[in-house]
A = this chain, B = another copy of it.
Amino acid sequence: MPHNIRTILERLNSSEYRVTWQRWAIIKEIVLNKDRQLSAEDVYNLIKQDYPEIGLATIYRTLDLLTDLGMLQRVSFGDGKTRYGLADGGSQYQNHLICVRCGAVEAFDEAFLRSLEEAVGEANQFQVIDHEVKFFGVCKACQKEAPARQRS
């Protein structure tokens, strides 16, 4: 279920919503940076390079819209900013390795989580719909720079 620019615009088009160049530009940046999870301001700055007239409020409104339509999903890393990534059917973008040294964020495959989700749901009589898993630690690059210590 690949989410490219075309599929998203088609879906927008077939709804009651309109396709504007602003929405096009926002979707473009999200797709081009699908490995990164952009914040509203990230998107704003990227687009302003080419179209200085765009407004921050438009970014927020469009990001909300695309999230409501199920094309994006919100992620937060606890830094006070909401970030957005392609929803992409499954939720592989909800699984993160976050480096506590350099702040790098990478995704990991969620195959690991299938059985966990089931086991936890059963044990707690909780009907699981979605998950969000973050592992904090030291990434490969930072491990090389200095011997790793436990959190100070």
Cross-interface CB contact of A127 among B119, B124, B133, B148, cutoff 8 Å:
B148
Cross-interface CB contact of A78 among B74, B137, B139, B151, cutoff 8 Å:
B74
A120–B108 contact, CB under 8 A?
A: yes
Task: Output the residue of A97, A100, A125 with the most chain B CB within 10 A.
Answer: A97
Q: Can you tell how many copies of this chain the complex includes?
A: 2
Cross-interface CB contact of A130 among B116, B125, B137, B143, cutoff 8 Å:
B137
Interface string of A53-73 (1 = CB under 8 A from B): 000000000000000001000
Beyond A113-B116, A128-B135, 17 additional contacts (C-beta under 8 Å) are A70-B151, A76-B78, A97-B126, A99-B126, A109-B123, A112-B120, A120-B135, A121-B137, A124-B140, A125-B143, A126-B140, A127-B143, A127-B148, A129-B137, A129-B151, A130-B136, A132-B134
